[in-house]
Every structure is written in structure tokens, then in C-alpha cells.
Structure 1
Amino acid sequence: MHLTVSGRPLRDETGAVRAGGVILREITERRRAEQVLRAAHDELEDRVRERTRDLSRTNRLLRREVRERKRAEAGLARRAEDLARSNAELEQFAYVASHDLKEPLRMVISYVQLLERRYKGRLDSAADDFIDFAVDGALRMQDLVDGLLAYSRVGAARRAFGPVDCERVLEDTLSDLQDAIKEAGASITHDPLPTVPGDATLLGDLLRNLMVNGIKFHGSDPPRVHIGASRRGRDWLFSVTDNGIGIERAHADRIFAIFQRLHSRAQYPGTGIGLAICKKIAERHGGRIWVEPQREGGSSFRFTIPAKEVNRNDYVGTKDHSTDATRRPGPTRRHAPREGVAAR
């Protein structure tokens, strides 16, 4: 038990002390409450000190992590800059090399073909075979140089993007391909296509390469190619679907690497650059490209283009094909074949 004692004197009229008074108060509960409060206070101070130490350690770790992350980001930025510079140098080298190779290669081809015309059949059979091998090799080298030049031009192209009417681009592309379409007996159909921001020449090359693949890699049935487009969030999703020989899923990524082929040249001619060009064009526009095998046979190549809203009337010469879902190339326009029409 805890008590407090207080007292006071009792005085008479003269001020003399005659007696005293004593007051006893029990303070057990108050003392217990004070002890509890003091203990709680001490515990709180301990917790504050512990939390302060924890926060100090955490702050030191965070500062260290921030410093390490900044160093890592600086390192990544330097590596990205070095990689971009290296890629630009490689693209420039590929462009210059392939461009400068064209003239001497053209001379080699001309003289080898001249040898073939003048001397084939006048020498022995082995010499004829040698001449055939030389002509074939030179022509294949020319195809490779042309393809490499087209591939490097995609990276070198720095034209500002503008509104591209994909209907008009497809119309021009079909006109370029009308001889190949007629020769293969191919059927080309398409849905209404949008206007997107981009480079009309590059997008034309992208569609051309995919349609050429659909026409060339066909089975026993006449080739059928359908071009579609639909809005998917912030992107336009394009598809070029064919009824050809198809692609196994195991090769779905490999076919977009440069110089990668799934068939021999004897089966299907080509350089293995076409789909690499398609991939580079799609990425140049901020999109991506992939292939999906079809259950009923054939393949569906799909690529995305960011769907920034553009006014179709801004495109000079725009035609409205919204009601024409099936177009065939017209007979009035012919164009010389372009470089870069390659195969997978």
C-alpha cells in the first residue's frame, strides 16, 4: 500500500500552536498507474530508438541501391549508345558495301554471260558446266547484294512519317505484282484498310514481301492471299493470310532472321532476306511482326502499326475503297520490279 501524509498546525487566537492535523491518502492505484505509464513510456522510447535504427539502416541501403542503380543505368545508357552507334555503322557499312559491289558484280555477270553465249557448246562438257556454275553463282550473288542493299535501306530511311493510305499502297503494290499474280493464277482479296502514320514506300515493301511469299510458297491449289486489318487498342493489326505450305511453330522466330531459309533454292528460289526486311520495317514503325500457322493449312503473317489518328483527306489522292472488299490489280499500270522482293 502506498500513502501520502500531509499535516498542518492548529493555532489559537494568539497564533500559538495548540494542536496539529494529519491527513493520510492512499495512492496505491495512482502509483501503479504511474508505473504503468512510465513502463509504457520507456517501451515507446525503446521502440522509437529501434525504429530509428531500422530506418537509418534502410536509408543507407536505399542510398546504396540508388547509387548502384544510377551506375547501372549509366552503364546501360552507354551500352545502348554504343550498340546504336555500332548498328548505325553496320547499316552504313552494309549499304556502302552492297552499293559499291553492284558495279563490279554487274561487270562480272556481263562477262560471264558473254562467255556463255560465245563459247558454250564449243568447249567440252566440263567447261559448259563450269560456265553454268559461274553464271548461276554470279546471279545469286547479285540477288544477295540487292537484298542486302534493300535491308540496309530500311535502317537508313529517315523520312518523316505522314498519313499513309494503305488502300492506295495496296493498289500500287498489286499493280507491281500483277504479272506474278496472273502467272501463278493467284487470288488476292482484302478488307477495307486504314490510313496510318508511316512511310508509304516501306509499308508498300512490307505488304509486297508478304504477298510474294503467299504467292510463291503454295501447294497444289492456286494461291489465295487475303489482307485484313482491325483496330486493337492503340494499334492497327494487319494480317496477310495465305493457303500455302505453312510454317511449323518451331520455325516461327527463325524465319525473321536475315539469310534464314527453310527450303533449298531448288525447291523455292530466294535469298532469305524478305522476312527480315518485313521485321525491320514493322519495328521501324513502332510495331512488331509474327506468324501464326493456320489449322486448315497456310500461314497468317500479322503485324501491328501504332494507330495514331490521322485525317484520310490529308493524303493527296486518297480513294475511298470502304465498300470494295475484293480488289484485283488493274490492267492499266505496270511498274518495274523493285529490289528487296525476297522470300522467306
Structure 2
Amino acid sequence: NSELEQFAYVASHDLQEPLRKVASFCQLLEKRYSAELDDRGRQYIDFAVDGAKRMQVLINDLLTFSRVGRVQQSWKPVDLDASLDRALTNLTLAVEESGAVVVREQPLPELLGDSTSLTMVWQNLVGNAVKFRRPDVPCRITVGCVREGDVWHLTVADNGIGIAPEFADKVFIIFQRLHARDEYEGTGIGLSLCRKIIEFHGGRIWLDPKPPEGTLIHFTLPVLPEAPTHTTAELLAPAALTPRSGDTP
């Protein structure tokens, strides 16, 4: 943990500052000498600025990845419906621009965990479904949840371009990308971050090799005795009529 904290400090301070300088001075160079540069020269500057910015994104993603696993002491009851709502709020622009529709098949449970990291799981899974949608088909994302013994079995399904079965394990490896950067942006950390968060919470995550269409992600989270959960009656009730714990009748 001490080494991770040192890395976090270096990543968030010492490594970011020179990158900001590279991007800033390249932009100043272009602004001051633009008239003396040909198209190739301006293109080189654009490459340098883009590389610095992508490195900053990568560092921030690595920083987030390194922090998972150090916050168990702050675990509290988490309402997965509320965490999904927060993720959708963060993705508002992407969802609205794509016209994506997110459907919840059942109310989601409450469990014990870290609210921020579980929101990141939803944000990555829904964000991927929006990113890898088919251009000629309205994007539809379905979130499901059933209880199986002592775990909640959750699913995120979409009707996008899908993932070939041979890449079922590769997609959860850090930095692994299945598409060129000029096709889809990203650092290749999203699903590996999801796996680390889910496993830290005592669950597992996997890709369905033969979904009906698009991509189907499964993951489990434990039902802990000390964590409040919805009753069977609540799960069968319409979401709008389902009372949350602590609500006054």
C-alpha cells in the first residue's frame, strides 16, 4: 500500500507536470510560428500535443486502477440503482448524442461496498455499450439482476458490434485493445478496471461467449448479511412503487 501511495503521488504530480509543459509549449510554438510552418510542421506539433494529452489520460486511468483495493475500511451500504443513476448522469452527453436507451429489467439491490468504484463499473460497461454501437441500429442497453443463493448475478447486454469469442479473456487484460485508436478512443483499461473492482468486492466478471446479439457482460456481487437488501416483494414490485430503506410510509 505504501508503494502504491508513492506511485499515486508521482503519477498525479511529478509525471503530469512535464506533460502539461510539453502540450503547452507545443501549442505556443504553433501559435507563434504558425505562419512559418508548412502543413507537415503543424501536423508534427499536433502529434506531440495529442501524444501528451493521451499520456495524461493514461496516467489518470492508471492512478484510478492503482487505488482500487485500498478503501475497504470505508465500505458502506450502496444502492446499485443510485450508482447506475450517477453513472448515467456522467454519461449524459454520450447517451443523448447516440440516442441510446437504457432499460432496467428489475430494481437493483443494495449491498456493501465502495459507491464510487461501483459507479465506475456501470460507467465503463454502459459507456462501452454506447461506444461500440452499430451505426445503423438504435442503441439499446439492458441491465438485469437476479439473486442466485448468496450472490447477485448482474448483466449488461447491448445490441452493438459485439466481441468475438476468442477475445473473451483478452478484453479484461490491462491495455488490451481490439480496435485501432483511430476507430475508437480509449486506453484499454476500462474492463480491466471493472474486473479489479468486482473481484475486490468478492465477485467475478466475464463475457458471454455466445450472446443473442451484441455484447453480454455478466458479473456477480455477494449478498452480505450486514448489507441491506430488497425483499422478494420489493423486487417484484414496479420500480416507481418500490420504497427505499429509510423512506417514511
For the superposition of Structure 1 and Structure 2, which TM-score range results when normalised by the shorter chain? Answer: 0.7 to 0.9
User: Is structure 2 residue 192 aligned with structure 1 residue 279?
Assistant: no
Once residues 90 and 322 of structure 1 are traced to their aligned partners in structure 2, the CA distance between those partners, rounded to angstroms, is 48
The alignment partner of 1:106 has SS state of: helix
Aligned to 1:253: 169
Aligned to 2:128: 213
Q: 1:113 aligns with which of 19, 27, 37?
A: 27
The alignment partner of 1:156 has SS state of: coil
- Do 2:72 and 2:113's aligned partners in 1 also have CA atoms closer than 8 Å? no
Aligned to 2:71: 157
- Do 1:121 and 1:128's aligned partners in 2 also have CA atoms closer than 8 Å? no
- Do 2:111 and 2:228's aligned partners in 1 also have CA atoms closer than 8 Å? no
Give how far 1:121 is off: 4.6
Give how far 1:294 is off: 4.5
Gaps of 5+ in 1: 1-87, 314-319, 326-344
Residues 1:112 and 1:157: Cα distance change in structure 2 (over 3 Å): farther
Q: How does 1:179-190 map to 2 (within 5 A)?
A: 179-190=93-104
Structure number with greater Rg is 1
Once residues 137 and 275 of structure 1 are traced to their aligned partners in structure 2, the CA distance between those partners, rounded to angstroms, is 23
In structure 2, what residue type is equivalent to 1:178?
A: T
User: Is structure 2 residue 40 aligned with structure 1 residue 126?
Assistant: yes
Aligned to 2:49: 135
- Do 1:235 and 1:305's aligned partners in 2 also have CA atoms closer than 8 Å? yes
Give how far 1:243 is off: 1.0
The alignment partner of 2:138 has SS state of: coil
User: Is structure 2 residue 224 aligned with structure 1 residue 311?
Assistant: no
Q: How does 1:43-122 map to 2 (within 5 A)?
A: 88=1, 91-92=4-5, 94-100=7-13, 101-122=15-36
Once residues 211 and 176 of structure 2 are traced to their aligned partners in structure 1, the CA distance between those partners, rounded to angstroms, is 24
Once residues 103 and 157 of structure 1 are traced to their aligned partners in structure 2, the CA distance between those partners, rounded to angstroms, is 27
In structure 2, what residue type is equivalent to 1:123?
A: L
In structure 2, what residue type is equivalent to 1:203?
A: L
Once residues 292 and 272 of structure 1 are traced to their aligned partners in structure 2, the CA distance between those partners, rounded to angstroms, is 19
Aligned to 1:236: 152
Aligned residues: 232
Once residues 93 and 258 of structure 1 are traced to their aligned partners in structure 2, the CA distance between those partners, rounded to angstroms, is 21
Percentage identity across aligned positions?
44
Once residues 90 and 227 of structure 1 are traced to their aligned partners in structure 2, the CA distance between those partners, rounded to angstroms, is 37
- Do 2:165 and 2:210's aligned partners in 1 also have CA atoms closer than 8 Å? no
Residues 1:170 and 1:322: Cα distance change in structure 2 (over 3 Å): farther
RMSD: 2.2
TM-score under structure 1 normalisation?
0.63
Q: 1:222 aligns with which of 128, 131, 138?
A: 138
TM-score under structure 2 normalisation?
0.85
